[in-house]
Structure 1
């Protein structure tokens, strides 16, 4: 089978990969997105906080993304059943199922001529002198690209090829489960996040006009006991600290619960030569921050500027990635540290409130610009 050539190959068709593909194609780059699944991924967060909405707004997508989503402006926090604070978002935040948001960006990509290769996993990545030369896929196709982006998740094949070791720390003290349930009046009224001094938390929020999402975090020893005994045991446990969302208890009886693994992930480097990492291939923070997707959108924006500024010059690309993309480790590290602090303190009301940072929780990184990034200059 003949080898295909393109300007940029993106491995992974999640939100970060699709958004980067859209930005690059709009600026004349020939882009191929490789996805091992039959369609865009469905697993991901449902929230876009103000930093992510600002990124979409800079590229004319905020209204489109919000058209069928839900806007909220406050989250109420409880400890052992008592409300302890409201976190307010002056500009609001968006709730929209992850798959819907990715499909929206994917549709925009298709209109811009981005080529998507589905059901295509990586068999081999050929390197030469520290740069990616060619991708060999499981379906026999081969691809040569001037730039390769690994947006292929926590087990990134691109990252493994670049020999960049991840530092992964599982949040083993809390097991997380998630279910989709019918929307109730209390959930439609307000997003509510409950903590208990026994090491439990649960989050109720609307997902659409008729559905809601429920997250439950609990100690590993309780998880085994509760989910073996069945949903009545879960509801009994929640009744001990969930107060203003009791109308949701009946809907939990028939819920299907999915266990999800949550870990932090840090890297010492985000690129090597002509290849870079994006999204959960580069970093992962605890979902309590609610900021992972928003930071990834901004990362994609920076990568698009860098790739276009390099103009196909591989040496210049390496230098620009070092100067403008590698510093993202600082912002990501701050967010990961914040997530670690939240998960470590939620049992204790005063400790949690002391760890809570409205600036990071609402606005994200203080340095995130409100206007279009200036054009990068060669260095």
Structure 2
């Protein structure tokens, strides 16, 4: 009998799930995305795409259509929370790309998701399909859905986020780890911010202060400013992209900060707010014909700006490994994927937790030492942004057997 490629069912229609399905189909492998929502959500505001993520978008054929709306910030500028003094700035627009071989982008999450969906084709996405469990037989993996239907595949990939139903079904219950902080996000039209002269430049702004921090950058070809304001609050535990924050509470949390920050907050009419969680690294992602991807496998805090980038790296790696194998050897491909990806994502999970404290130090010797270390940031982060997921696959990944 002639060997055939595996048929793959992906649970979750976020960036990672769509990227995997697109990568598989570009390799000639049948894949369908099962998404629980009735429509693909366009929430989440802005994200940063580093060179490591951009390489994947280029491989998937969506970098060019995204270029029209993505922004290439001129520099990353680290500012003192009260005085506005620039502690250090690093060139991005040209120097970064020369070093890492691809640009640094800031872009709306929805734009990335839409570009992937357009390239994949909506007929390969099944909406309103809420996964309730996954079972395995000798020859297949079977997804069960809330409406009573099932789907059978040679491989099932859980790309369904931090509260993954696939992970819970296959590996059992576990608890998300609450950071004790929450993040406010909003997209503010630049026309409301014309009175802030610094915003005439397209810059990634990072403001560090005692107990909280503020990050802002342009998206949508510079028409919108995305911000993330992280504050301590052990009582706000709602993890939702759609939960609304109180603008007055947000402004009060940054009282005394530089006018650059407070005036942006004043212009945000309906900031979203969500509690920040991650998870302890999984001991394993794969069992039999089932594996995990993105936040389902390695949920991390947003303090490295790598969540979407790591999901993209996962996707292109897994797609290539599955393309090397046949339906009867799917489990070996999933194990190879995990062996290649798990060490890197564990380091990023730990680094994101560590950054939370570094970003929010009070003025004093520790903050001064952190500021001095910012000068070497491009070197310190080269292992993240310089990574080539396909290159790593070619040089270190074992062949599925």
Q: Which bracket does the TM-score occupy, shorter chain normalised?
A: 0.7 to 0.9
Corresponding residue number in structure 1 for 2:241: none
How many residues are treated as equivalent by the alignment? 361
**Is 1:118 matched with 2:127?**
yes
Q: What are the equivalent positions in structure 2 for 1:273-352 lying under 5 Å apart?
A: 273-313=288-328, 316-348=329-361, 349-352=367-370
SS in 2 for 1:17: helix
CA gap 1:236/1:323 in 2 versus in 1, 3 angstroms: closer
Corresponding residue number in structure 1 for 2:218: 206
User: Is residue 187–residue 245 contact of structure 1 (8 Å, CA) maintained in 2?
Assistant: no
CA gap 1:155/1:341 in 2 versus in 1, 3 angstroms: same
SS in 1 for 2:388: coil
**Is 1:18 matched with 2:33?**
no
- Cα deviation, residue 128, structure 1: 3.2
User: What TM-score, normalized by structure 2, do the two folds share?
Assistant: 0.80
Q: What are the equivalent positions in structure 2 for 1:159-198 lying under 5 Å apart?
A: 159-163=167-171, 166=174, 168-172=176-180, 174-183=181-190, 184-185=193-194, 186-189=198-201, 190-197=203-210
SS in 2 for 1:295: helix
Determine which structure has the larger strand proportion and give its number: 1
- Cα deviation, residue 207, structure 1: 2.7
User: Is residue 213–residue 229 contact of structure 2 (8 Å, CA) maintained in 1?
Assistant: yes
In the alignment, the residues of structure 2 paired with residue 97 and residue 67 of structure 1 have an alpha-carbon distance, to the nearest angstrom, of 12
- Cα deviation, residue 187, structure 1: 3.4
In the alignment, the residues of structure 2 paired with residue 222 and residue 179 of structure 1 have an alpha-carbon distance, to the nearest angstrom, of 21
- Cα deviation, residue 8, structure 1: 0.6
In the alignment, the residues of structure 2 paired with residue 307 and residue 166 of structure 1 have an alpha-carbon distance, to the nearest angstrom, of 28
Q: What are the equivalent positions in structure 2 for 1:115-264 lying under 5 Å apart?
A: 115-128=124-137, 133-163=141-171, 166=174, 168-172=176-180, 174-183=181-190, 184-185=193-194, 186-189=198-201, 190-197=203-210, 199-208=211-220, 209-220=222-233, 231=247, 234-235=250-251, 238=254, 240-245=256-261, 247-252=263-268, 255-264=269-278
In the alignment, the residues of structure 2 paired with residue 280 and residue 246 of structure 1 have an alpha-carbon distance, to the nearest angstrom, of 32
- Cα deviation, residue 299, structure 1: 0.7
Q: What are the equivalent positions in structure 2 for 1:31-46 lying under 5 Å apart?
A: 31-44=31-44, 45-46=46-47
User: Is residue 18–residue 102 contact of structure 1 (8 Å, CA) maintained in 2?
Assistant: yes
In the alignment, the residues of structure 2 paired with residue 120 and residue 9 of structure 1 have an alpha-carbon distance, to the nearest angstrom, of 12
User: Is residue 214–residue 227 contact of structure 2 (8 Å, CA) maintained in 1?
Assistant: yes
- Cα deviation, residue 51, structure 1: 0.7
Corresponding residue number in structure 2 for 1:3: none
In the alignment, the residues of structure 2 paired with residue 217 and residue 368 of structure 1 have an alpha-carbon distance, to the nearest angstrom, of 30
SS in 1 for 2:154: strand
Q: Which runs of 5+ in 1 are unaligned?
A: 1-5
- Cα deviation, residue 167, structure 1: 6.2
User: Is residue 331–residue 365 contact of structure 1 (8 Å, CA) maintained in 2?
Assistant: no
